[in-house]
Chains A and B, each alone.
Chain A
Amino acid sequence: MNGASDQRLLEVRNLKVHFPVKEGFVKAVDDVSFQIHAGETLGLVGESGCGKTTLGRAIAKLVDPTHGSIWLNGEDIAALSGAQLRARRRQLQMIFQDPYSSLDPRMTAAQSIGEALEIHRLARNAEDRRGRIEELLQSVGLDATHGARYPHEFSGGQRQRIGIARALAVEPSLIICDEPVSALDVSIQAQIINLLHDLQRQRGVAYLFVAHDLAVVEHISRRIMVMYLGKVVELGTAAAVVQTPKHPYTQALISAVPRIEESEERPRTVLAGEMPSPIHAPAGCPFHPRCPIAVDRCKVEVPALREINTAHWAACHLAK
């Protein structure tokens, strides 16, 4: 659905984010590599604690990676800091799950959006600034009168629109969307998803769309990446991952999604147990204790992410 070119916008290589704890390290992100092309949407799914949010934050450099490189428009930003990093941040923005806690309650919508313009010195003068803010508000489906209002005067969906306008203000080439619709009602969720879709078509911005809701991710993404315990377990086109999932975890995840249609008896794999704590990650394949098809090899040997079909990757010894 995304008319993306082949130009590599983001390339993440062997990224690790390890947090020290009393008992050792939490490997929140463990050796993750992937690319995002200009103008495309990569969906990132997984359950709580799988590392998807930390990965998004590491790319936005809100947490420091322990190891690895993050190439953005041909430049490694993993090691940058200070003024150098600030200058690159313009290319990469973030929107969050709860737009209420990510907007300053004492700033009007126009001030919040204007602040982004000022930080990157994008407005020539006050008039230019006003015009840009108005244009941004309109592009997210609000109007100029909304600019004078404070966050508490908006509904959740409208606040998320302001968060999007603020991210768009600096004309980024990539927006990391961290659960942007999971706090919204279904009818409002559809409005925001359609808005993100339209903005991508108009502006060619790429998204890393992080969410736990597979149906939402499938709808908006061209490709989908699935994470479990800090590792990528599957990566492929949205259609391939959803229709012919290769990793047993992805298969279970898809079968667990409650569906409106075909609600007749559908064979459902209910996974036993829960994701282990990342402090005590199992040896071998991180999924083997819950895996319905695990064999002895899975307990000792970590499976590499390998190409099962063209452009469809899975980290499972048994996938074919």
Chain B
Amino acid sequence: MLEIKNLQLEFRSGERSLRAVDGVSFSIGDGETVCLVGESASGKSVTALSIGRLLPTPPAYYPAGEIILDGHDVLKASKRELRALRGRGVSYIFQEPGASLNPVFRVGAQIKESLKLHRPQAATDGEVVRLLKLVGIGAPEARARNYPHEMSGGMQQRVMIAMAIAAEPRLLVADEPTTALDVTIQAQILDLLAELKRRLGMSLLLITHNLGIVGQIADRVAVMYAGQIVEMAPARQLLRRPLHPYTQALMNSAPKLGSDADRLANIPGNVPSPGAMPSGCRFHPRCAKARPDCSRNAPELIEVEVGRQARCPYWNQ
């Protein structure tokens, strides 16, 4: 359904060029949920934005790689083809629903706008109400006449989801959809996404920094660090037994409910910036298991077990 091969993404400004994504490859099957996990500057969001070509050129350039969405090469597509792919091919929801909704239009009108763009024959009040009902909004007829500021953050995110699925996309990309929401509302939205995926037969790409969410929703997960995938595995397997030292450190540094550990295992130092990548393995300056040659040889992402990949030659030691 989606296949990304060796994606390279650079941001150029004048003489400067920063590589934000460096050789990312993964695929998503029909009806599958894949999570991209990583910290800030890992490249997870810009990878996801590239699928719909939502990054303007300049400054974003793709020196190499392919993104095949539903048989179309997104990176070579014309403006017209892109318009057709956005919406029916891939739709997005983002972290801050309040910032993505237009404050001066009623939410019903905004959902209708999305219908006009992608499914003009269905752009009716009845379809707007059906979509609002589908995303679990009570009294949908009345709610359609609300302005965004009259809704809570959780409700706004439901409206964003209604706008995204109005196009009946093959792939829904959710970029930190619950990060700005309270934990009880987060649980509601995750349940809603899982249910909609099942009912509408979409695929889902979920971007998050929260490994806890992965176990709840993902089939497979890719962990990104400094513009590269460092580990890829079925979700349960990865959580049960992470193989890359970065994934292990990330899991150990998150406090766990009900554990009485006195100190958290922290990862020393900071995430490297795209302009100053360490030589060799990009994680080696922060890695507790680093060896002398880790600073010289850049490791490849290799298949270490069936269905599991890791970018570390010492993964089993």
Contact = CB atoms under 8 A, between A and B. Distances in A.
A, B assembled together: yes
Interface of A: 1, 47-48, 155, 157-158, 185-191, 193-194, 197, 212-216, 218-219, 239, 242-243, 252-254, 256-261, 263-264, 268, 270-271, 274-275
B265 interface: yes
Interface stretch (B12-20, B43-51, B252-260): B252-260
A239 to B, nearest CB: 8
B95 interface: no
A243 B210 CA distance: 22
Interface string B205-220: 0000111111110000
Contact count band on B: 35 or more
B100 interface: no
Q: Return the 9 tightest CB-CB contacts between A and B, nearest first.
A: A263-B215, A258-B212, A187-B267, A47-B182, A190-B266, A190-B253, A219-B255, A190-B264, A185-B39
Contact of B183 (A155, A185, A212): A212
A191 B255 CA distance: 12
Given A185-B40, A187-B39, A190-B264, A243 B213 contact: no
Given A257-B257, A263-B216, A274-B154, A157 B270 contact: yes
A243 B260 CA distance: 12
A261 B238 CA distance: 11
A259 B257 contact: yes
Nearest to A214: B257
B316 interface: no
13 contacts: A186-B211, A186-B250, A186-B254, A187-B267, A212-B182, A215-B257, A219-B264, A257-B257, A258-B186, A260-B214, A263-B214, A263-B216, A270-B191
Interface in B210-256: 210-216, 235-236, 239, 249-251, 253-256
Contacts of A188: 270
B257 A242 contact: yes
Nearest to A195: B266
A215 B188 contact: no
Given A155-B270, A219-B261, A187 B216 contact: no
A100 B249 CA distance: 27
A275 B154 CA distance: 11
A237 to B, nearest CB: 12
B184 interface: yes
Contacts of B154: 274
A254 B257 contact: yes
B255 A256 contact: no
Given A191-B267, A256-B187, 11 more contacts: A187-B249, A187-B267, A187-B286, A190-B254, A191-B268, A214-B183, A215-B257, A219-B255, A254-B257, A258-B216, A271-B188
Contacts of A274: 152, 154-155, 185
A186 B258 contact: no
Nearest to A219: B255
A261 B257 CA distance: 10
B291 interface: no
A186 B209 contact: yes
Given A186-B254, A189-B253, A270 B40 contact: no
Q: Is the interface of A mostly helix, strand, loop or mixed?
A: helix
B262 interface: yes
B264 A268 contact: no
A215 B263 contact: no
B7 to A, nearest CB: 23
Nearest to A193: B264
Contacts of A219: 255, 259, 261, 264
B123 interface: no
A48 B215 contact: no
A194 B263 contact: yes
Interface in B253-300: 253-268, 270-271, 286
Given A252-B184, A260-B254, A190 B265 contact: yes
B285 to A, nearest CB: 13
Contacts of A1: 262
Interface centre among A1, A186, A253, A257 (most CB of B within 10 A): A186
Contacts of A242: 257-258
A213 B209 CA distance: 14
B39 A186 contact: yes
A256 B39 CA distance: 22
Interface centre among A157, A191, A214 (most CB of B within 10 A): A191
A191 B249 CA distance: 12
B255 A185 contact: no
A264 B236 CA distance: 8
A259 B212 contact: yes
B196 to A, nearest CB: 15
A111 B82 CA distance: 52
Interface centre among A185, A253, A274 (most CB of B within 10 A): A185
B253 A187 contact: yes
B254 A258 contact: no
B289 to A, nearest CB: 15
B263 A197 contact: yes
